[in-house]
Chain A
Amino acid sequence: MKQKHIISLLLENESGALSRVAGLFSARAYNIESLSVAPTDDETLSRMTIVTSGTEEIVEQIIKQLNKLVDVVKLIDLTESEHIERELMLAKVEAIGAARDEVKRLVDIFHGRIVDVTDTTYTVEISDTGEKLDAFLSSLSSIKIHEVVRSGAIGITNGENVLAC
């Protein structure tokens, strides 16, 4: 059965490292739902979070193949344990008439913020799990969505365990 996995890894902060990871996924036909990457407090390292899905066997292969890349320093499958997942979304939605109140109410329910306002639109910022962001978008139902930007998920384990060198 296919399941969603969030793989978080420490990568050498070197040119070409990102393309090695991206190339691995395309070359081996692995699914990639989102990928986010940025430097860490240690400037020699980047932290990358990949959301993928696949059967147990496929995900096992993905992890082994990632570990084989020389630029991958450490790796964890966050979905194996308790973890915190966050994704940032910016959405520009139509806000005319009754929709102005309706959107504001939904944004409150989803613990988001309205960060830009025009006569006809609101720009909404929400940070939560991918599923919650999906739920927000579908709750808008008849309200027109002009634009959606999502960062892809990032994540970290609960408790005292750390992924570090």
Chain B
Amino acid sequence: MELTGAEIVVQSLIEEGVEHLFGYPGGAVLHIYDALEQQEKLQHILVRHEQAATHAADGYARSTGKPGVVLVTSGPGATNAVTGIATAYMDSIPMVVLTGQVPRALIGNDAFQEVDSVGITRPVVKHNFLVEDIKDLATIIKKAFFLATTGRPGPVVVDIPKDITAQKTEFSYPREINIRSYSPTIPSIKGHSAELKKAYELIMEAKKPMIYTGGGVILSNASEQLIKFAQMLGAPVTNTLMGLGAYPANDKQFVGMLGMHGTYEANMSMHHSDVLIAIGARFDDRVTGNLEKFCPDARIVHVDIDPASISKNVKVDVAIVGDVGEVVGELNKLIEASDQRMESSALASWWQQIEEWRAQDCLKYNANTGTIKPQFVIEKLHEVTKGDAFVTSDVGQHQMFAAQYYGFNKPRRWINSGGLGTMGFGLPAAMGVQLAHPGAQVACVTGEGSIQMCIQELATCTQYGLPVKIINLNNGFLGMVRQWQEFFYDRRYASSYMDSLPDFVALAEAYGHVGIRVDKPEDVVPALEDAYGKYKDRVVFIDFMIDREENVYPMIPAGAGLNEMILV
């Protein structure tokens, strides 16, 4: 059957099982929008800014594991999408972004709304394509989905010149795709057997084992294997910011998040461990602190799907390249097949040591100051949502408070921009999550700084009936910037004071939502209960007027090791 390029785009997305497409129309994609209008399988979500389209698709992807799909126009449509593409790239999120391009005859002529989208996005995509011939269009879209979702996932951009969307050709969507230069399953997806054996032997020698896991466990849906692995070994587990929820926070073997704002017990256990088992994590600088001082006594096993992550920052002793779930499954088989276990007396004294660190209670805070503590709001959010909400966040202090205090017991519930640290991510991401999980409780934990970076999306929530709850921790400061200025710049609060804030309650109401301002600690729980109770089908914006100069503790200052935390 002969279809236009625009119809091929739409049919290909349907073939890929795409149900929701986040986008914003413009000249170069008008044919595609026209084709979208004439079908009913694929729902288009009109955002209010292209950045939000990518973040919404990202939230959709993170909460479901399916690729997020975006359609934007050429020029500014594409450049506005770049921040969201880079956000997905840094966190290895599967995403396919279709960008319109000026007609082929105009490419390179500085045409209206022309940019080199392939050039601009190249450093922040797994791969990208410029479609040069309509005959390649369906194959390229197939390749884009294949690349985005296999191996280490990531965003893929497909740039489509307008004239191609108007041309016609025979359409058949390819069943299989082969890219000769891309083999996500080599080396063996289950890991090399000799390396598996070496890892197993090294683990069994451990007296102070430590399991450190990252976003890879979530991407690979490997929580079950991880829980089994950790519980067979009886070793402590820490998760990175990207890995929260992969191991249940309420389990006694969980010692909290590690890194710059991790718990004392997690960082001390890392520092003093003798065998470190890193799974789907990449030794990010916010995790390791000073590399010279990182885990001085540990021999390290590293499991990762990306060979380039191995020994990039920290030299490791045993490296297993493969799918995290498969590899940990194989390790579990080795452990099950043998009677050998770690030396139990050594493990017992290791736990005794860890419990001493845990007894420091590094996350304690004084809730009785008469002001609303941000930590308290997050704890109450957990209680009211029974720990079962999808929590998205923006970037800053509120993000760390949410990570530290919510207590994620399931994977894909904590949705945040860990790698790029993108303010403005939270609200659109929450829309994507809510769209994918219509009945679920969704909270966007944000601050008065971050929320204003994508606040226009309150209108999108109205249009599509996405009842997300906005938990605005309002301290009138760009809190994390202010915290650093307090610590390292003699309290010179350069441009970190948020002046001229809008009346968020009135603003929410102007968009047709429910707005609630909370000034007193005793009003925190009732407001949250209303949000998830009588207003559960509405968007609710709760403006919590919190303690203005609360800091995020514990903290590892720049240049320090994991054992050199500031506790309070």
A residues sitting closer than 8 Å to B (CB atoms) are: 12, 15-16, 19-20, 23, 27, 57, 60-61, 64-65, 67-68, 70-74, 165
Residues from chain B with Cβ under 8 Å of A64 in the complex: 307-308, 310
Contact assessment for B181 and A65 in the assembled complex, using a CB-CB cutoff below 8 Å: no
Task: Tell me the minimal C-beta distance from A9 to chain B in angstroms.
Answer: 10
The answer to whether the Cβ of B130 comes within 8 Å of any Cβ in the partner chain is yes
Evaluate whether A61 and B308 lie within 8 angstroms (CB atoms) in the complex, with A15-B130, A70-B126, A70-B147 already known: yes
Residues from chain A with Cβ under 8 Å of B358 in the complex: none
Residues from chain A with Cβ under 8 Å of B310 in the complex: 64
> A165 to B118, alpha carbons, bound, how many Å?
27
Option from A19, A60, A67, A68 in Cβ contact (under 8 Å) with B311: A60
Contact assessment for A20 and B147 in the assembled complex, using a CB-CB cutoff below 8 Å: no
The answer to whether the Cβ of B127 comes within 8 Å of any Cβ in the partner chain is yes
> A70 to B132, alpha carbons, bound, how many Å?
18
Residues from chain B with Cβ under 8 Å of A72 in the complex: 181
Most B-side CB within 10 Å, residue of A68, A70, A73: A70
> A61 to B307, alpha carbons, bound, how many Å?
9
Contact assessment for B182 and A70 in the assembled complex, using a CB-CB cutoff below 8 Å: yes
Task: Tell me the minimal C-beta distance from B550 to chain A in angstroms.
Answer: 37
Of chain A, the residue at the smallest CB distance from B151 is A68
Task: Tell me the minimal C-beta distance from A117 to chain B in angstroms.
Answer: 42
The answer to whether the Cβ of B317 comes within 8 Å of any Cβ in the partner chain is no
Contact assessment for B127 and A57 in the assembled complex, using a CB-CB cutoff below 8 Å: no
Option from B119, B147, B182, B307 in Cβ contact (under 8 Å) with A19: B119
Contact assessment for A23 and B122 in the assembled complex, using a CB-CB cutoff below 8 Å: yes
Can you name 9 A-B pairs with beta carbons within 8 Å?
A16-B118, A16-B122, A16-B128, A20-B122, A23-B122, A27-B123, A57-B311, A68-B306, A70-B179
Evaluate whether A71 and B181 lie within 8 angstroms (CB atoms) in the complex, with A15-B130, A16-B130, A61-B308 already known: yes
Interface string of B15-27 (1 = CB under 8 A from A): 0000000000000
Residues from chain A with Cβ under 8 Å of B123 in the complex: 23, 27
Task: Tell me the minimal C-beta distance from B327 to chain A in angstroms.
Answer: 18
Task: Tell me the minimal C-beta distance from A145 to chain B in angstroms.
Answer: 37
Contact assessment for B180 and A165 in the assembled complex, using a CB-CB cutoff below 8 Å: yes
> A111 to B118, alpha carbons, bound, how many Å?
45
The answer to whether the Cβ of B341 comes within 8 Å of any Cβ in the partner chain is no
> A23 to B130, alpha carbons, bound, how many Å?
17
Tell me whether chain A's interface is mostly helix, strand or loop, or mixed: helix
Task: Tell me the minimal C-beta distance from A88 to chain B in angstroms.
Answer: 29
Contact assessment for B312 and A61 in the assembled complex, using a CB-CB cutoff below 8 Å: yes
Task: Tell me the minimal C-beta distance from B227 to chain A in angstroms.
Answer: 30
4 more contacts with CB within 8 A, not counting A12-B181, A65-B308, A68-B308, are: A27-B123, A67-B308, A70-B127, A70-B182
Residues from chain A with Cβ under 8 Å of B126 in the complex: 70
Ranked 8 nearest A-B pairs via Cβ: A64-B308, A73-B181, A70-B127, A27-B123, A70-B182, A64-B307, A65-B308, A68-B308
> A57 to B128, alpha carbons, bound, how many Å?
28
Residues from chain A with Cβ under 8 Å of B315 in the complex: 57
Contact assessment for A19 and B122 in the assembled complex, using a CB-CB cutoff below 8 Å: yes
> A71 to B125, alpha carbons, bound, how many Å?
13
Of chain A, the residue at the smallest CB distance from B132 is A15
> A71 to B182, alpha carbons, bound, how many Å?
8
Of chain B, the residue at the smallest CB distance from A28 is B123
Residues from chain B with Cβ under 8 Å of A20 in the complex: 122
> A74 to B182, alpha carbons, bound, how many Å?
10
Residues from chain A with Cβ under 8 Å of B180 in the complex: 73, 165
Residues from chain A with Cβ under 8 Å of B179 in the complex: 70
> A62 to B181, alpha carbons, bound, how many Å?
17
> A64 to B181, alpha carbons, bound, how many Å?
14
Task: Tell me the minimal C-beta distance from A44 to chain B in angstroms.
Answer: 9
Interface string of B468-499 (1 = CB under 8 A from A): 00000000000000000000000000000000
> A5 to B254, alpha carbons, bound, how many Å?
45
Contact assessment for B127 and A67 in the assembled complex, using a CB-CB cutoff below 8 Å: no
Interface string of B294-324 (1 = CB under 8 A from A): 0000000000001110111001000000000
> A57 to B119, alpha carbons, bound, how many Å?
29
Task: Tell me the minimal C-beta distance from A135 to chain B in angstroms.
Answer: 37
Task: Tell me the minimal C-beta distance from A64 to chain B in angstroms.
Answer: 4
> A70 to B181, alpha carbons, bound, how many Å?
6
> A23 to B121, alpha carbons, bound, how many Å?
11
Most A-side CB within 10 Å, residue of B119, B147, B308, B310: B308
Residues from chain A with Cβ under 8 Å of B127 in the complex: 70
Task: Tell me the minimal C-beta distance from B198 to chain A in angstroms.
Answer: 19
Residues from chain B with Cβ under 8 Å of A71 in the complex: 181
Task: Tell me the minimal C-beta distance from A164 to chain B in angstroms.
Answer: 12
Of chain B, the residue at the smallest CB distance from A60 is B311
> Which residues in window 508-543 of B have CB below 8 A to A?
none
Residues from chain B with Cβ under 8 Å of A16 in the complex: 118-119, 122, 128, 130
> A61 to B308, alpha carbons, bound, how many Å?
6
> A165 to B182, alpha carbons, bound, how many Å?
13
> A33 to B147, alpha carbons, bound, how many Å?
31
Task: Tell me the minimal C-beta distance from A123 to chain B in angstroms.
Answer: 36
Residues from chain A with Cβ under 8 Å of B181 in the complex: 12, 70-74
Contact assessment for B307 and A67 in the assembled complex, using a CB-CB cutoff below 8 Å: yes
Residues from chain A with Cβ under 8 Å of B118 in the complex: 16
> A4 to B122, alpha carbons, bound, how many Å?
28
Most B-side CB within 10 Å, residue of A27, A68, A71, A73: A68
Of chain A, the residue at the smallest CB distance from B119 is A19
Residues from chain B with Cβ under 8 Å of A65 in the complex: 308
Of chain A, the residue at the smallest CB distance from B308 is A64
Residues from chain A with Cβ under 8 Å of B122 in the complex: 16, 19-20, 23
> A25 to B225, alpha carbons, bound, how many Å?
37
Residues from chain A with Cβ under 8 Å of B130 in the complex: 15-16
Task: Tell me the minimal C-beta distance from B251 to chain A in angstroms.
Answer: 35
Residues from chain B with Cβ under 8 Å of A60 in the complex: 311
> A72 to B315, alpha carbons, bound, how many Å?
26
Interface string of B112-151 (1 = CB under 8 A from A): 0000001100110011101010000000000000010000
> A19 to B119, alpha carbons, bound, how many Å?
8
Task: Tell me the minimal C-beta distance from A116 to chain B in angstroms.
Answer: 36
Of chain B, the residue at the smallest CB distance from A15 is B130
> A102 to B257, alpha carbons, bound, how many Å?
72
> A27 to B124, alpha carbons, bound, how many Å?
10
Task: Tell me the minimal C-beta distance from A104 to chain B in angstroms.
Answer: 48
Task: Tell me the minimal C-beta distance from A76 to chain B in angstroms.
Answer: 14
